[in-house]
Amino acid sequence: MSTISLPVATTPSQEKSTKVGNYFVANYPPFGAWKPEDAPLLGDVLSRRPVPGAPLGIYAHIPFCRKRCHFCYFRVYTDKKSSEIRAYLAAMLRELDHYAKSDAFAGRKPLFVYFGGGTPSYLSIEQIRSLTDSMKAIVPWDAAQEVTFEAEPGTLQPGKLLALRDVGVTRLSLGIEHLDDAVLEANGRAHRSREVYGAYEAAKSANFSHINVDLIAGMLEETDERWRETVAKTLALAPDGVTIYQMEVPYNSAIYQRMKEAGTLNSPVADWETKRRWVAEAFQVFEAAGYTVVSATTLVKDPSKTYFYRQGLFNGTDLFSVGVSSFGYVNGVNYQNQHDFQPYLDRIDAGKLPTHRVYSLSDEERYIREFALQLKAGTLHLAPFAAKFGVDPRVQFGEVLSAWTRRGVASIQDGRIQLSREGLMQVDRLIFDLFLPQHRVGRFS
């Protein structure tokens, strides 16, 4: 691997206003670099044996919702009939079965299973039991350290929560986002605070190993007072974990469509400085109550417990992802499935992989991918990283790291790179500094 020296990026890391676009970095290179013409590469990758001991995770995308939020840019559907949902779940199982029989899977057992959406909890109890039983028959979960299930409070009843616990869900992630009803209304959320409290108490009674609460800083109609009140109310719930995102205005969201219709580029969302301040304030509140920061977005009560899915994604774990528009990573290859409902079903019905686009990473790109994603945890230990890739990041990214140190957003000491709180609050912008020049443009959706 050659050593590269990159100038510090000026965008988006130095942007102040919330411009239209996705800045939350979940992968590398940006999704815009992935090509449909390379889709056949996934078949070749699946025919190769994995690196011995390489960990594995499974992601299942459930794209159904009661209502589409105004800020949502994910592939979700609010109009599907029961027969269409059944057909989709059956197709997703056939996709998983195809992967499980490949050489790349080769009898491996997942260390984590993640149900995302959309709204996985939109499914009925019968559908949840049938889906999870069928998945376990294809890929046993007995080695899984974590099984996460995303849920919208308004879709949860005591019976469904008990079913989720019984099928093996260990981490219930509640998409609360806010506890002010006016803010929830303004942003198109389907639930209200009364449903949040009812669902949370029922979830506690079901005795999940871990209940996580999602919040978003900077939603439409957000104010200092409303944010601080939501943080205080969330702390009073005493969840096992809290994940806090900073609001974006994605291109394919309802908010952006309204901006286009109004002929304005002025975002109705707070600027980045304000959103970072709100998240930092929330972190301080939870830390004072004994929580520990484990990433740029997440605090937990007990860091000694395993939250493997997040660290696995940061550390290069193979991710077999099933479902419409879902993103996976296998043997150094990124892939995304067909991003529309019927084309996805048609490909599965034809006995073909539903792959839409693929990107095969070079050794240098894999190095950048893992380095950038691991920094989202706030701390990166240099020796094991250098041992894995054969190049010390202080050599590979010397100029960038020096610039970060001068700015006070990072430090290097005791064999690790440590982001300051200021750096952690803007890590998704900082890590653009690490990207190859051709990857500093392009959308992340």
Burial of 162 (0-12, 13-18, 19+ CB in 10 A): middle
Are 65 and 24 in the same domain? no
Residues 6+ apart with CB under 8 A from 45: 104, 330, 331, 333, 360
Are the CB atoms for 74 and 26 separated by under 8 Å? Answer: no
- Which of 313, 338, 356 is the last residue in one of the domains? 313
Q: How far is CA 325 from the centre of its chain?
A: 14
Has residue 229 got a pLDDT over 50? yes
Output the six-digit token pair for 225. 């007072």
Q: What is the pLDDT of residue 8?
A: 34
Band of the pLDDT at 73, cuts 50, 70, 90? confident
Q: Of 200, 192, 181, give the one whose Cα is nearest residue 242.
A: 200
Are 17 and 125 in the same domain? no
Are 284 and 433 in the same domain? no
**Distance separating alpha carbons of residues 209 and 418, to the nearest angstrom:** 30
**Distance separating alpha carbons of residues 148 and 152, to the nearest angstrom:** 13
Angle subtended by helix axes 193-205 and 158-166, to nearest 10 = 40
Output the six-digit token pair for 294. 């484990």
**Distance separating alpha carbons of residues 45 and 353, to the nearest angstrom:** 12
- Which of 284, 313, 342 is the last residue in one of the domains? 313
Output the six-digit token pair for 118. 């959309």
**Per-chain mean pLDDT for the chain:** 92
Output the six-digit token pair for 305. 């417990």
Count of the separate structural domains present in the chain: 2
Are 204 and 260 in the same domain? yes
Q: What is the pLDDT of residue 337?
A: 98
Domain membership flag for residue 322: no
**What CATH number is associated with residue 401?**
1.10.10.920
Output the six-digit token pair for 103. 């050489």
pLDDT above 90 covers a percentage of the chain that reads 83
- Look up the domain containing 180 and give its range: 33-313
Residue matched to tokens 């990107």: 359
Q: What is the pLDDT of residue 63?
A: 97
Are 171 and 23 in the same domain? no
Predicted confidence (pLDDT) per residue in 17-68, tens digit: 888 877 888 899 998 899 999 999 999 999 999 988 889 999 999 999 999 9
Are the CB atoms for 78 and 66 separated by under 8 Å? Answer: yes
Q: What is the pLDDT of residue 4?
A: 35
Q: Of 16, 6, 34, 117, give the one whose Cα is nearest residue 444.
A: 34
Has residue 265 got a pLDDT over 80? no
Band of the pLDDT at 377, cuts 50, 70, 90? very high
Does the predicted model carry a pTM greater than 0.75?
yes
Output the six-digit token pair for 244. 């806090």
Are 116 and 10 in the same domain? no
Band of the pLDDT at 313, cuts 50, 70, 90? confident
Are the CB atoms for 132 and 94 separated by under 8 Å? Answer: no
Are 189 and 303 in the same domain? yes
**What CATH number is associated with residue 157?**
3.20.20.70
**Distance separating alpha carbons of residues 48 and 231, to the nearest angstrom:** 48
Are 23 and 39 in the same domain? no
Domain membership flag for residue 346: no
Domain membership flag for residue 326: no
Has residue 328 got a pLDDT over 60? yes
**Distance separating alpha carbons of residues 147 and 167, to the nearest angstrom:** 10
Are 44 and 98 in the same domain? yes
**Distance separating alpha carbons of residues 262 and 19, to the nearest angstrom:** 15
Domain membership flag for residue 354: no
pLDDT above 70 covers a percentage of the chain that reads 95
Output the six-digit token pair for 212. 């996580």
CB count, 10 Å around CB of 87?
A: 16
Q: What is the pLDDT of residue 15?
A: 65
Are 54 and 73 in the same domain? yes
Has residue 5 got a pLDDT over 80? no
- In three-state form (DSSP H/G/I as H, E/B as E, the rest C), the secondary structure along 108-142 is CCCCEEEEEECCHHHCCHHHHHHHHHHHHHHCCCC
**Distance separating alpha carbons of residues 41 and 355, to the nearest angstrom:** 10
**Distance separating alpha carbons of residues 120 and 362, to the nearest angstrom:** 34
Domain membership flag for residue 359: no
Q: What is the pLDDT of residue 19?
A: 84
Are 76 and 12 in the same domain? no
Domain membership flag for residue 116: yes
**Distance separating alpha carbons of residues 382 and 417, to the nearest angstrom:** 7
- Which of 313, 346, 379 is the last residue in one of the domains? 313
Output the six-digit token pair for 48. 């190769």
Predicted confidence (pLDDT) per residue in 75-96, tens digit: 899 999 999 999 999 999 999 9
DSSP string of 254-308, one letter each residue:
HHHHHHHHHT----SSPPHHHHHHHHHHHHHHHHHTT-EE-SSSEEES-TTS--H
Q: What is the pLDDT of residue 442?
A: 53
**Distance separating alpha carbons of residues 274 and 126, to the nearest angstrom:** 44
Domain membership flag for residue 325: no
Residue matched to tokens 């109550």: 289
Domain membership flag for residue 168: yes
Are 25 and 37 in the same domain? no
Instruction: State the maximum Cα–Cα separation within the chain, in Å, rounded to a whole number.
Output: 59
